[in-house]
Structure 1
Amino acid sequence: MSSERVLVTGASGYLGSHIVQTLLNSGYNIRATARPSKVANLQASYTDVYNTEDSQRVQVAPISDLVHGEFPEIFEGIDALIHVASPLAGREDPDSTIKTAVEGTLNMLRQAEKAGISRIVVTSSIATVMNKVAETSDATIKDSDWSSALKEDVIKTGNPLLIYCFAKTAAEKAVWEFADAHPHVDITTINPPFLYGPFAPTQKFPTFDPSALSTVLLIHQIITPDGPFPPNADHTDVRDAAKAHVLALKAPPSSLVGRKRIFIASPHSLDFATITHFIAEKRPALKDRLTQTTPPTMMRDRAPVDFARIEQVLGLKKADFHDVEDTILETIDQLVGLEAIWKSAT
């Protein structure tokens, strides 16, 4: 078992929870951060399974202010950082969303570098290229591609999702500026599309909270009669995205493989008409509640990522990804189970 301890920010979220679980399964020790209100419950959920009097495999530490806070104590004894935490779409005004994404990320990088941490993985997004690589394009995404959206134009739209996409782009550009200024720090960004799949065991949902469901809400809408479909077919299983983050910790250094800006997505097709028929066939009890919305016609059925590059840097092969049918069914089965909990709480 590895004696390394990895610091994971945003550990109570959808992806963060899976990253912690994957790290634990891979033998790492964890120091997870979360908002102060979530620390006690999160610590208890891990302590019950992983911690003993002699071994504290999971420690949970509070961070109340990611942008301005100074917290050198959370970096003590840490070997690597996985920074997942990011402001959610629509939670703050546009300027605050963008500032929090950029300054919160830079604050973590600066403090990690000051503490002597030289391996850092940052969660970014495929949204950082999405109006560069058009919906109609089948050109493979390159690590030199960037969205060309302008801040003032995005803010004028008032669209929370577009503002979130710009915030992720601005934050990642700041990451690479930091990397250029600190070449002794080895940084990888993982850039996934929409994430689907079941929640990690530590995530609990006693009541229905759409914002807490993250992108799983898009799957819940498919089993809602008037629910919309996701805006595009780009996707990957959240467990595959988590695995990519963990594999990045042992990836070759940038000096050997170049800038490690890794776009990751499922190699499997996602066609919404096919998927709804598949759900009706495999889960006939849900047939009458499937969305009646007409499935959109997509110009592509998966994100055009470079799988050779993914394998070169992370060692993750196409065959290692979850099948989309399994991902969707496991997600829906868990959602149906949660609905029973939500119903009993009302």
Structure 2
Amino acid sequence: MKKLVLVTGGSGFIASHIILQLLQQGYAVRATVRSMAKADYIKEIMLSSGIQNNQDLSFIETNLTSEKNWPAAMEGVSYVMHVASPTPKLNFKHEEEMINPAVNGVLMILRAAQNANVKRVVLTSAYGAVFAGHHNRQMPYTEKDWSNLQDTHIHPYQKSKTLSEKAAWDFIQNEGHNLELSVVNPVAVMGPGLGSVYSHSNIQIQQMMDGDIRAVPNVNSGYVDVRDVASLHILAMTSEKANGERFLATTGETLSMLDLAHILRDAFPSYANKLPKKTIPNGVVKFAAIFRPNLRMVASLVGKYADTSNAKSIDLLGWHPRSAKESVITTAQSMIDLGILKK
């Protein structure tokens, strides 16, 4: 009998790569989808990615806002990859609109996994639970760092990621019994799409290549390939050393948005005239965000220190990610190949 892994949010960018690698490594996978209409899409991208048949792939319709079907989803499952997450809202009235679904969804999954005697849950958290709300930072962020919720300027998205991950660790400590937990905290995720769905982090690449952005904010970030994020999840699932640990999924490199444009210009010279060549002053971005709520997350990041360390993932799990440059180039090439970019 193959070990069965439940992957939540199965049609998502990271989740689809996790499913692919699990099937390639001989696991059976049950994917949750909000609508069974997504099942055919996932089957199709698995076949196009080299999976000869989908006999080890099954689906169940669930939603993070309802307990319906979660007991059935967990039946016979050895491991849970909890990748599903509420999509960040850029236009929201109250921060609870982002925070409550994230926290309640994580706790619902953990309780269902515990009731089904699942061995380990691997939670996809985020870099947003690590770096936000820190000032005058000079040392790379590590897994020991947590976002500072006392900072009144922290964006609700980062707050939701921090509070949902903290809720998960509190549950394991106080109610978890034999349930194990590992957490993966990716920085901005790049890499090839398996289909038309890709990460919201990739939108900046699409907008640059389409010529929609003539100048970029002064935002620095770590970047990591989705294929390496998937492999880190599986290492976190299988390694005994990973139990009770969180892992930053990062190459350890820091790039500005203008650096991304330079990488793309060198790799795709035919798009050179569409790519941005200058940076927007920090004050302009922050002022614009007063009137445009969809800019507030970006405004909270301008000029911020963003260096990260991947030493723990490498030393403890033997993880070796691709370079950020390779991942950025692969992202753009994938968008060209999939016909996502404007003609």
Q: Tell me if both proteins adopt one fold, taking TM over 0.5 as the criterion.
A: yes
Aligned mate of 2:158, from 165, 169, 187: 165
Matching residue's letter, 1:89: P
The Cα shift of 1:232 comes to: 2.1
Aligned mate of 2:269, from 284, 289, 304: 284
The Cα shift of 1:295 comes to: 7.3
Partner residue in 1 for 2:171: 178
Matching residue's letter, 1:284: P
- Tell me, in whole angstroms, the C-alpha distance in 1 between the residues paired with 2:24 and 2:281: 39
CA displacement, residues 221-255 of structure 1 (integer Å, 9 cap, x when unaligned): 33243513573222211111111101111122567
The Cα shift of 1:163 comes to: 1.4
Aligned mate of 2:187, from 190, 193, 215: 193
Structure 1 gaps, min length 5:
206-211
- Please state if 1:59 is matched with 2:58: yes
Matching residue's letter, 1:148: N
- Please state if 1:121 is matched with 2:126: no
CA displacement, residues 270-300 of structure 1 (integer Å, 9 cap, x when unaligned): 3544543343233211111112442789878
Cα pair distance change 1:296/1:339, threshold 3 Å = farther
CA displacement, residues 145-194 of structure 1 (integer Å, 9 cap, x when unaligned): 2222259x46xx8xxxx211111111001000011022422110101111
Matching residue's letter, 1:286: Y
Partner residue in 2 for 1:209: none
Matching residue's letter, 1:171: S
**RMSD across aligned C-alpha pairs, in angstroms?**
3.0
CA displacement, residues 105-152 of structure 1 (integer Å, 9 cap, x when unaligned): 100110011000021100001111223544x5232434342222259x
Matching residue's letter, 2:196: K
Partner residue in 2 for 1:208: none
- Tell me, in whole angstroms, the C-alpha distance in 2 between the residues paired with 1:184 and 1:67: 25
Matching residue's letter, 1:117: V
Contact 1:251 1:313 in 2 (8 A): no
CA displacement, residues 68-110 of structure 1 (integer Å, 9 cap, x when unaligned): 4352111112110010111111176531321110011100110
SS of the residue corresponding to residue 36 of structure 1 reads: coil
The Cα shift of 1:27 comes to: 1.9
Matching residue's letter, 2:208: I
Partner residue in 2 for 1:244: 232
SS of the residue corresponding to residue 238 of structure 2 reads: coil
Structure 2-normalised TM-score?
0.81
The Cα shift of 1:332 comes to: 1.0
SS of the residue corresponding to residue 5 of structure 2 reads: strand
Contact 1:149 1:166 in 2 (8 A): yes
Cα pair distance change 1:254/1:341, threshold 3 Å = closer
SS of the residue corresponding to residue 118 of structure 2 reads: coil
Contact 2:220 2:303 in 1 (8 A): no
* Number of matched pairs: 317
Segment of structure 1 superposing worse, 169-178 or 64-73: 64-73
CA displacement, residues 18-60 of structure 1 (integer Å, 9 cap, x when unaligned): 11112122221110111115433235426756475xx721111
Contact 1:138 1:304 in 2 (8 A): no
Partner residue in 1 for 2:98: 97
Contact 2:189 2:199 in 1 (8 A): no
Contact 1:67 1:103 in 2 (8 A): no
SS of the residue corresponding to residue 121 of structure 1 reads: strand
The Cα shift of 1:322 comes to: 1.0
Contact 1:125 1:193 in 2 (8 A): yes
- Please state if 1:28 is matched with 2:21: no
Structure 1-normalised TM-score?
0.80
- Tell me, in whole angstroms, the C-alpha distance in 1 between the residues paired with 2:168 and 2:76: 23
Cα pair distance change 1:197/1:43, threshold 3 Å = closer
- Tell me, in whole angstroms, the C-alpha distance in 2 between the residues paired with 1:61 and 1:179: 26
SS of the residue corresponding to residue 309 of structure 2 reads: coil
- Tell me, in whole angstroms, the C-alpha distance in 1 between the residues paired with 2:123 and 2:137: 27
Structure 2 gaps, min length 5:
283-301
Contact 1:196 1:236 in 2 (8 A): yes
Cα pair distance change 1:89/1:131, threshold 3 Å = same
Partner residue in 1 for 2:148: 148
Partner residue in 2 for 1:263: 248
Matching residue's letter, 1:204: S
Partner residue in 1 for 2:293: none
Cα pair distance change 1:164/1:38, threshold 3 Å = farther
